[in-house]
A and B are shown apart, each in its own frame.
Chain A
C-alpha cells in the first residue's frame, strides 16, 4: 500500500515527540536525528520499532545506520511499503 509523504512525516513527528520529547512543530524532513533532535542510539531503536508498528513495514538493523535525517526515514518507509 502506497503511503503519502505527509502522512508518514506526521506519524514520525508523533513518534519522535513521544520518544525524545521534541515538539512535533520543530521536526522537519531535513532535521538530523542525532544532531538536531538529540535522538541517541537507544532512542533511535524505540523510534524504529514504533515506526514499524505504525506503518506495517520492516526496517532492518543494517538500514537504520543510513537513516540520518527525518527525510531519510520517511523515504525508507514509503519505499518499504510499496
Chain B
C-alpha cells in the first residue's frame, strides 16, 4: 500500500514579501519585486538590477544567528520557521522527521567575502564559520539542526531544478516510509558581482537597465534574459494518515514526480523538449491522473529567448489538446529567478493556487511571442474550476535536469 503525501505547512521569504501571505497577495496583484541594486558594484557590471528579498533577514532573526549563517541559510531558517509553525509544529518522533532543502549555488557570497578577507588580511582572519556557511547543504543542515530532524537531511543540487528536486526527494522519503514529515524546499542567495557577471557573460541575464520592473517578461516577444532573484520557499510534507491523526490542516496532495535529463547541452535547452515531455508523462503516471485532470501549470519560464519557447513547445506536445484548459502562470515575471529556490517558491504558489482556486498572473507581456501556443494567464489572476483539480510545477536546470511535480486538490 503506497503512502500518500500531503502538504501541511508553507513558508517563504521572497522579493514580494517576507512571508507567504504578503508574497501571495503581491503576486495576485501583479507586482514586480525587481529593483535597481544600490550597491556600488552594481554599476560596474553589465546588469544593474535584481530581485532582492522584500524583508531583510536582519529584521527576522537574532544578530548572533545572522553572523553564523550564510544568507542562503538565513532564508532557509526564516522560511522553515514559518512553515513549521503553519503546520502546527507537530509533536513527533524526530527519527521520523526529515529535511530536504536545496540550493543551486550554496554559500557563494560567504565564499567570496572570505576570499576577500584572506587576500586583504591573511588566513588567520578567515572566519571559523566559513565552511559551514559556504557548504551547499548548509541551509538543510541548519534547519535539520533546529528541528532536531533525524530521519535524514539531504540537499539535491541540479542548478535551477534544485528546489523542485528537493520537494520530489522529500515526497519519496515519505512515500517509501523513511519519514512521516519532511521539511522541504529550496533557497538561493547569489546576488553578488561575481555570479551575476558569470550569468551576464553567458548572455543569460536581461540587460534592461532602464526599466528593471519590466525586465522579467516570460513569453513576451522582446524578452532578453532572466532577472536574478533571491529568497526561498519551504513546504512541510506529511504522510496523509499522520496528518489526519493529529488533526492537521491539509492544503493538498503531492501525487507524483517525473525526473529526466536531456543529454543535450550543458546550458541550452533541448529544442525538442523530449526530456520535459517524458518527465510530465512519468509524473502523471505516478500520480495516476491524465492530462485531462490538469487545470494549472506554474511554468519554469525564466524570460530567456530560447528557454521559454522550448518549454512552451514541450508543454503543448506533452499535453496535446488538453493544454487548452491549462492556465499557465509564469511567476518569475514578478519574483525574478530564484535559481535553486525557484521550484520551491513556485510550489508554494501552486499550493496557494489550489487553495484559493486562483492562478496568479504573468506580467510584462506586451506582445505575446507567436511561437508560444499555450494558454498564458496575463495581467490578472484567473479563477480555476471547482471540484477535483490538479496542477503541475516544471523546473529545469543547467546540466539538462528536468523535474515535474504533480499537486492534487484534496
Residues of chain A touching chain B, judged by Cβ–Cβ distance below 8 Å, are: 19-21, 42-43, 45-46, 49
Of the candidates A21, A46, A49, which one forms a contact with B62 in the assembled complex, judged by CB atoms under 8 Å apart? A21
Residues of chain B touching chain A, judged by Cβ–Cβ distance below 8 Å, are: 62-65, 67-68, 124-125, 127-129, 132
Of the candidates A21, A42, A43, which one forms a contact with B63 in the assembled complex, judged by CB atoms under 8 Å apart? A21
Q: Which of B63, B124, B128 has the most CB of A within 10 A?
A: B128
Not counting A19-B64, A45-B128, A49-B125, a sample of 11 additional A-B residue pairs whose C-beta atoms are within 8 angstroms of each other reads A19-B67, A20-B64, A21-B62, A21-B63, A21-B64, A21-B65, A42-B128, A42-B132, A46-B127, A46-B128, A49-B124
Nearest-neighbour CB distance to chain A for B77, whole angstroms, equals 15
Nearest-neighbour CB distance to chain A for B131, whole angstroms, equals 9
Closest to A44 in B: B128
B65 partner residues in chain A, CB cutoff 8 A: 21
6 residue pairs from A and B, CB less than 8 Å apart: A19-B64, A21-B65, A43-B68, A43-B128, A46-B129, A49-B124
* Cα distance, A43 to B125, chains bound together (Å): 13
Provide the main secondary structure of the chain A interface: helix
Nearest-neighbour CB distance to chain B for A61, whole angstroms, equals 11
A49 partner residues in chain B, CB cutoff 8 A: 124-125
B124 partner residues in chain A, CB cutoff 8 A: 49
B67 partner residues in chain A, CB cutoff 8 A: 19
Nearest-neighbour CB distance to chain A for B60, whole angstroms, equals 15
* Cα distance, A42 to B129, chains bound together (Å): 7
* Cα distance, A54 to B113, chains bound together (Å): 22
A19 partner residues in chain B, CB cutoff 8 A: 64, 67
A21 partner residues in chain B, CB cutoff 8 A: 62-65
B62 partner residues in chain A, CB cutoff 8 A: 21
B68 partner residues in chain A, CB cutoff 8 A: 42-43
Nearest-neighbour CB distance to chain B for A78, whole angstroms, equals 22
* Cα distance, A43 to B67, chains bound together (Å): 10
* Cα distance, A42 to B128, chains bound together (Å): 6
B64 partner residues in chain A, CB cutoff 8 A: 19-21
* Cα distance, A42 to B124, chains bound together (Å): 13
Closest to A52 in B: B124
Nearest-neighbour CB distance to chain B for A31, whole angstroms, equals 16
Nearest-neighbour CB distance to chain B for A67, whole angstroms, equals 15
* Cα distance, A31 to B297, chains bound together (Å): 58
* Cα distance, A40 to B127, chains bound together (Å): 14
B129 partner residues in chain A, CB cutoff 8 A: 42, 46
* Cα distance, A20 to B64, chains bound together (Å): 6
